[in-house]
A and B are shown apart, each in its own frame.
Chain A
Amino acid sequence: APAIVRAQAPIKWRMQTYAGAALGAEVTKPAVDYINAAANGEMEIELFYADQIVPTGELFQALQRGTIDAVHSDDDSMASPTPLQRFGGYFPLATKHILDVPVLFNQYGLADIWREEYEKVGVTWLSAAGQDPCNFNTTKEITSLEDLDGLKLYTFPTAGRFLSQFGVVPVSIPYEDAEVAVQTGELDGMAWSGITEDYTVGWADVTDYFLTNNISGAWIGSHFVNPQRWADLPEHLKQLVMAGIEAGHTYRDQWYWGGEARLRAQGDKLKLRTIPQKEWKTVEDAALTFWDEIAEEGEVHAKVVKIFRDYNEVIGNAGPPYTFE
């Protein structure tokens, strides 16, 4: 927050996103642009990208202390000190499609849990939305589960914890360094995103294969704000910020949904590979065990896992297009 405030100067927020500049232009910037344009000079959000102001690992503390005013990130990447850290980003095989996420938050009660848990640690949670599935893009070909053994992959902490049982070696480095890390040999690829991001951020240029099996159907990420900064905002600007975030969600839903289909069908940089569904069943079963483990970790964990279970039961009974078969 700027210390020098002039009369009628716009309210300024510094916002940092978990995404690098190329991805951030699609996942975070549209909402910011909308808010800045609609605020008509009353408010201005300055957007910064991954690790630009503070390293992503320090992002949460920076948000609490007001060093950064607002954040767009998943709970896992920003090392959230809440139990929700396990569920943000990619909770293994908990969702199938991008729209599952807002439904889970707005119809199945995740929003209340998120709001409550973040309030406890001094951060205001505003809104969550879905993004792309978590596929693999690698320099080495994957056609069976055995091929995962020994692969060094850039992935989310919780996803990495889950994948390590298949021999994956999860590597954690700053987001913007991942592409070069493939070239310096620190990584064999990523289990981080769908194919749209692979092409957008340049990962498709350094890896050769894309595995169509995903370990989660949609990323879960949120907008957060420093409580004091939120309280200082006049009501009409609060409404405006929320509307801008919703507009960003809508844009993103379409960008990913269209991108995933088009680039799988027409992209020429990554060769598609698939592990047969029969074999992949092992991973799906392992995910259910993993859910049980996570549910054991605490009350909130159990509550969230139960919601995922209930929802998956509903879509399982509903059948396609909610499920794949």
Chain B
Amino acid sequence: MPKIIRGFVRGVDAMNYFIGRFAMYLIFALIGVLMWSSVSKTFFEPTLWTLEMAQFIMVAFYVLGGPYAVQMGSNVRMDLFYGTWSVRQKAWMDAFTVLFLMFYLGVLLYGAIGSTAYSLGHFTGEPFAFFWDLGVTLVTEGPAAAKDKMGFIERSPTAWRPYIWPVKTIMILGVTLMLLQVTAEFFRDIGRIRGVEL
């Protein structure tokens, strides 16, 4: 396999391993927030933010941890036939079916980008142009001018009213990482077909 592809696979694996290991420990943040919620309710005042905070942590947990879970092979497959195939046969089939998965992730990413643009106040449905414009403005004219490009910043309709764009940004990041991981898996399968373990 070309060196660049080996490098890509190794790089993606390492990055997602690192991020996934970080996401893995979010389980304790989740337990902590919910424990605090119980404690504060019993002894002080109920909190405004814990349930929603827990939901945000949960999103980070499963979205950022997803690629690492793919590395670990945690994703189930229906292996009625699959289970009986050889490594090479599996690689052939996977190299093909992974394209469907990429398509799904691509659509998911498209939706995430549109929704994040919306949460930054962009309403006309051209999210890529918006982000491009935003980026260019940020670089050429500075943060204040970029802020002006944004419109109504979406907040969660709760009493706590957190901004929504951070969690949507995490989703963009997570889906992108997943897409990279799946691409790495694709190359790995191609490698297996050629008899090389990447």
Contact = CB atoms under 8 A, between A and B. Distances in A.
A/B contact in complex, CB under 8 angstroms: yes
Interface of A: 57-58, 61, 64-65, 76-77, 79, 81-82, 121-122, 150, 152, 157, 160-161, 164, 167, 169-173, 186
A77 B157 contact: yes
A138 B154 CA distance: 30
Given A61-B115, A152-B46, A161 B152 contact: no
A157 B114 CA distance: 24
Contact of A57 (B48, B121, B123, B157): B157
B125 interface: yes
A172 B114 contact: no
Interface string B115-147: 100100101110000000000000000000000
B156 A172 contact: yes
A160 B158 contact: yes
Contacts of A160: 158-159
13 contacts: A58-B115, A77-B157, A79-B157, A81-B123, A122-B123, A122-B124, A150-B45, A150-B46, A152-B46, A157-B158, A160-B158, A169-B47, A169-B48
Given A122-B124, A170-B158, 16 more contacts: A61-B114, A61-B118, A64-B123, A64-B125, A65-B125, A76-B157, A79-B157, A81-B123, A81-B151, A81-B154, A160-B158, A164-B159, A169-B46, A172-B157, A172-B159, A186-B51
Contacts of B159: 157, 160-161, 164, 169-170, 172
Interface in B70-117: 114-115
Interface residues on B, range: 20 to 34
Contact of B121 (A76, A81, A122): A81
Contacts of A76: 157
B157 A81 contact: no
A58 B154 CA distance: 11
Nearest to A160: B159
Contacts of B125: 64-65
Contacts of A150: 45-46
Of the candidates B45, B46, B52, B156, the one having the most CB atoms from chain A within 10 angstroms of its own CB is: B46
Contacts of B151: 81
Contacts of B115: 58, 61
Contacts of B118: 61, 64
Nearest to B158: A172
Contacts of B124: 122
Contacts of A121: 123, 152
Contacts of B156: 57, 172
Contacts of A171: 51, 158
Contacts of B157: 57, 76-77, 79, 157, 172
Nearest to B153: A81
Nearest to B152: A81
A164 B151 CA distance: 27
Query: A82, A122, A160, A186 — which one has the most chain B CB atoms within 10 A of its CB?
Result: A160
Nearest to A152: B46
Nearest to B45: A150
Contacts of B123: 64, 81, 121-122
Nearest to B121: A81
A119 to B, nearest CB: 12
Q: 9 tightest A-B contacts by CB?
A: A172-B158, A170-B159, A157-B157, A81-B152, A160-B159, A169-B46, A61-B118, A79-B157, A121-B123
A118 to B, nearest CB: 11
B39 to A, nearest CB: 14
A185 B125 CA distance: 40
